[in-house]
Amino acid sequence: MSANPTVFIAGAGPVGLTLANELSRHGVPIRIVDKAPHRTDKSKALVLWSRTLELFDDAGYVGPFLAAGMRGSGAQISTGKEIVARVSLDSIDSRYPFALMIPQSETERVLEEQLATRGVTVDREVELTGFAEKGDEVEATVRKADGRTETVTADWLIGCDGAHSAVRHGLGFSFEGSTLQSEWSLADGQLLGLEPKDRIHIFWHRDGILAFFPMGDDRWRVIADLGEVKDGNHFADPTLEEMQTLIAHRGSSGITLSNPRWLAAFRINERKVKDYRRGRIFLAGDAAHIHSPAGGQGMNTGMQDAFNLAWKLKMVIAGAARPSLLDSYSIERSAVGDMVLRNAGRLTEAAILRNPIAQGLRNAVVKFATGFPALQHAIADQLAETNIAYPSSPLTAKNGHTANGPKPGMRWPDRLPAGAGGKSFTALGPMEVVTALAQKFPKLVTAVSADDQHAGALRLIRPDAYVAFVGAAGDRAHAEAYLAEVAA
């Protein structure tokens, strides 16, 4: 842990831990603090999607996640009497065509243990109480468990400190959006009587949705929509008996819940900041955007914020790239946040319909639409976040060249060369061309000779596996011009 870190990270949830791992992996001195005495023991965010797994794979440490989770093959929607739809995930265009069902407690454990191998530990029971940007530094004040205060000076401050972010409040950023009026109940426990065990099971009952999310070893998350509560009241946390009554009423017969680890009532918030940055201070994850858990994309979106920011910070700190590279972070990730917010909101609106006529129409439309393989594929790719792209980013070349394969701004589906993930642009093309690019921009480029599948084009692939530039095989001049705009 650096006493005078280059990057100071507030918040050690999945997003802060991902950012800490990515920066420390490339030798950037960091300090990461969290006001909680321990990492979470709750299941909370339950899924790592394909795109996130690809990024951890390119970074070299996807294995411990795969070992700790179970592979979810899809989802089944039912009324309790008939199947409305089955959505399979095996059509996802990824080397990880599944949802990795893993409790957040395990995700944080894996990330914290990985960070420890880099010689970094989370500084716990340390709360950020204030900060100020002073020239080329950020001066932060923290309070420790014994009440003592400390001033930390860093080059950059990143707020990964959740929905009630002290960094966001300190910046004075508006967290625009709303709280949905519907109340929900949640249980995490042992469940018997539900098959198959590798699928999410959703029951669209006339009285509200009931959903089951597998976590392995007969452990499941159960959530139910309870409808609106008037006069500002809230439901108390449910009892096991109340959850079992809901299951019996809305689900299929024979499903039994026992040994709950967590029982809770909650409401859904949909909020987001407009900008993810001011000067030397950034926001990532729930500090910047929170939305419905429908689709399970909140944590994944935040982790991808961290991957996006980490390589850009690393390049600027190392003197390989201009500081203006960091301007693309908010542009790219705010657009993604808007998209995820919209998609999750639509899924929630469909799930909580109460009007019987609207419910019948919804069921008929979904049953018809999911009968088409192309639409099944599109749904799966949206959930997996493999359809995220940056066509309008300032980092996406607009030279107009077209070639087979992903276009500029689109995700690169193949595994990046060892060491390139998070570190450098991959120049993929004729060996003499890409070697020349790597020699001219040694801090920016890793050279890879194109195989037969990718012959006939010259590509620059970003460290986070998005295509930056596509040109003709010999178009070294335009590739050099692109890299010159990035290089310090």
Q: Does domain 7-46+103-175+273-348 have CATH number 3.50.50.60?
A: yes
Mean pLDDT, the chain, rounded, equals 93
CA atoms within 13 A on the CB side of 192: 4
CATH topology of domain 177-270: Alpha-Beta Plaits (3.30.70)
Domain boundaries along the sequence of the chain = 7-46+103-175+273-348, 177-270, 389-488
Q: What's 216-283 look like in SS3?
A: ECCEEEEEEEEEECCCCCCCCCCCHHHHHHHHHHHCCCCCEEEEEEEEEEEEEEEEECCCCEECCEEE
Q: Name the CATH topology of 389-488.
A: Glutaredoxin (3.40.30)
Q: Which of 245-259, 337-351, 432-446 has the lowest mean pLDDT?
A: 337-351
* Calpha distance 277→267 (Å, rounded): 28
Report yes or no: 130 and 39 within 8 Å, Cβ to Cβ.
Answer: no
Sign of CA dihedral 308, 310, 316, 320: negative
Mean pLDDT of 240-256: 93
Per the DSSP assignment, residues forming a β-bridge with 131 are 140
List pLDDT tens digits, range 288-304.
999 888 878 999 999 99
**pLDDT tens string 111-128:** 999 999 999 999 999 999
- Choose between 464 and 421: higher pLDDT: 464
* For residues 462-474, average pLDDT: 95
- Preceding omega of 103 cis (within 30 degrees of 0): no
Write the pLDDT tens digit of every residue in 139-191. Answer: 999 999 999 999 999 999 999 999 999 999 999 999 999 888 889 999 999 99
Surface-to-core class of residue 213, CB atoms within 10 Å of its CB (0-12 exposed, 13-18 middle, 19+ buried): buried
Mention every residue, 6+ apart, whose C-beta is less than 8 A from residue 9. Answer: 16, 19, 20, 30, 31, 32, 33, 158, 160
User: Residues 111, 17: contact at Cβ < 8 Å?
Assistant: yes
pLDDT digits (tens, 9 = 90+) for 220-230: 999 999 988 77
- Lowest mean per-residue pLDDT among 100-109, 238-247, 293-302, 308-317: 293-302
CB atoms within 10 A of CB 25: 20
Residue 368 has pLDDT above 80, yes or no: yes
Q: In this predicted model, what pLDDT tens digit does every residue of 13-35 receive, in sequence order?
A: 999 999 999 999 999 999 999 99
The beta strands (E) that lie in 80-193 are given as: 83-88, 99-101, 123-124, 126-134, 137-144, 149-154, 156-159, 176-192
Output phi, psi for 297, to 5 deg.
Answer: -105, -5
Q: Which pLDDT belongs to residue 140?
A: 97
Rounded to 5°, angle at Cα 361 from 356 and 366: 125
379: tokens are 């749904």
Residue 3 pLDDT grade (very low, low, confident, very high; cuts 50, 70, 90)? low
Give the side-chain half-sphere CA count within 13 A for 40. Answer: 19
pLDDT digits over 331-356, tens only?
Answer: 999 999 999 998 888 888 888 888 88
Quick one: average pLDDT of 294-323?
95
Per-residue pLDDT, 166: 97
| Rounded Cα distance, 282 and 325, in Å | 14
Answer yes or no: is pLDDT of 197 > 70: yes
